[in-house]
Amino acid sequence: MPDLTKFTTLTFDCYGTLIDWERGILAELRPWADRNGRTDLDDNAILEAFGTTEAACEAETPDKLYPEILAEAHRRLATQWGIKANPDAAREFGQSVGRWPAFADSATSLQYLKRYYKLVILSNVDRASFARSNEKLGVAFDRIITAQDVGSYKPDLRNFEYALADLDRSLGTRKADILHTAQSIFHDVVPARAVGLATMWINRRKAVGGWGATPAPQAKGAPTMPDMEVGSMADLVVLHQAHLRGESA
């Protein structure tokens, strides 16, 4: 296991890692599905359908802002589930990111980590949506890089290459200084490893298993396992404290 103290910069995925997007997504889609007669869909079926649909929309229209991606995913889910499309409902879902809650340990963990690292966001949203989430996270990030800035969505390698160039230019941060910290193997761990970044998996679904709102990894021969794994941001703090004491875990 790498020594956490050797890194100077943590790049974070936000949604699924710091913001509880699965709880936020279900709070929006579950009542809508129920109102339209799809009470047969359990929570995991809703999350998995969303995950594959959202990823397809991002890959097909990388130039669209994230609220448009969400609205299109909503329209496709309506078709898939036999629900009459409702433009107002789709548009409202597109604007829902700011309503998604933070995980209980995110703000305090980030405040602790800010004492030791530069903190960077590398997120698959737009700047306006992230700004609403950032209010819940309690720290000032050193850099914020969104899909809107790059013009593509993770797992596209361009997002990571853009971030590496930006951090080298703006912060003087080298690749070896960075630990990419994220919940999604599909969106983050596989492409981050492909560009040579060390990776920390925040395995928020460790207790329940499955992939939830993130598609299963499709690595095509690339390594899929992270360099390190913890179950939460709070566990990351505990591991960092152990490494500060010179302990291996």
User: Catalytic residue positions?
Assistant: 13
Q: Which residues contact 120 (CB under 8 A, 6 or more apart)?
A: 9, 10, 11, 12, 141, 142, 143, 144, 145, 163, 167
Which of 129, 242, 180 has its CA nearest to residue 12?
180
Tell which phi-psi region holds residue 16, choosing left (phi > 0), alpha (psi between -120 and 50) or beta.
left
Contact (Cβ atoms closer than 8 angstroms) between residue 183 and residue 148: no
Which of 145, 151, 155, 147 has its CA nearest to residue 118?
145
Cα torsion 150, 153, 156, 162 to 10°: value is 20
Q: Could you tell me which residues are beta bridge partners of residue 143?
A: 120
Tokens describing residue 198: 């060390």
